[in-house]
Copies of this chain bind each other. A is one copy, B any other.
Amino acid sequence: MDKNIKLKTAEIEKSSHLEYFNIAISVDCVIFCYKEKKLQVLLIQSDLEEYSGLYSLLGDLVRPDEDLDSAPYRVLKQRTGMEDVYLEQVHTFGTINRHVSGRVITTAYYSLIDIKHQMLNFDENELHWHPVKDIRKLAFDHKMILDTCLERLREQVMEYPIAFNLLPEKFSLRELQKLYEAILGITLDRRNFRKKIAVKGWLEDLDQMEVNVPHRPGKLYTLKTLYKKRRQTRKSKPSVLDSVS
Contact = CB atoms under 8 A, between A and B. Distances in A.
A19 B180 CA distance: 43
A139 interface: yes
Interface string A12-45: 1000001111111111100000000000000010
Of A3, A56, A244, most buried by chain B (CB within 10 Å of CB) is A3
Chain A interface, DSSP helix/strand/loop, else mixed? mixed
A101 B5 contact: yes
A23 B22 contact: no
A7 interface: yes
Interface stretch (A63-71, A165-173, A220-228): A63-71
A105 B241 contact: no
B26 A2 contact: yes
Interface stretch (A113-121, A129-137, A184-192, A205-213): A184-192
Contacts of A66: 96
Contacts of A95: 67-69
B57 A106 contact: no
Count of this chain's copies in the oligomeric assembly: 2
Contacts of A46: 3
A1 B48 contact: no
Contact of A184 (B64, B91, B103, B241): B241
Interface residues of A, number: 73
Contacts of A21: 18, 21-24
A217 interface: no
A154 interface: yes
A2 B101 CA distance: 8
A193 interface: yes
Interface of A: 1-8, 12, 18-28, 44, 46-48, 56-57, 59-69, 75, 89, 91-96, 99, 101-107, 139-140, 142, 154-155, 158, 180, 184-186, 188-189, 192-193, 196, 240-241, 243-245
Ranked nearest first, the 9 interchain pairs of A and B with the lowest CB-CB distance are A68-B94, A192-B245, A1-B26, A1-B59, A1-B60, A5-B101, A92-B92, A67-B95, A155-B240
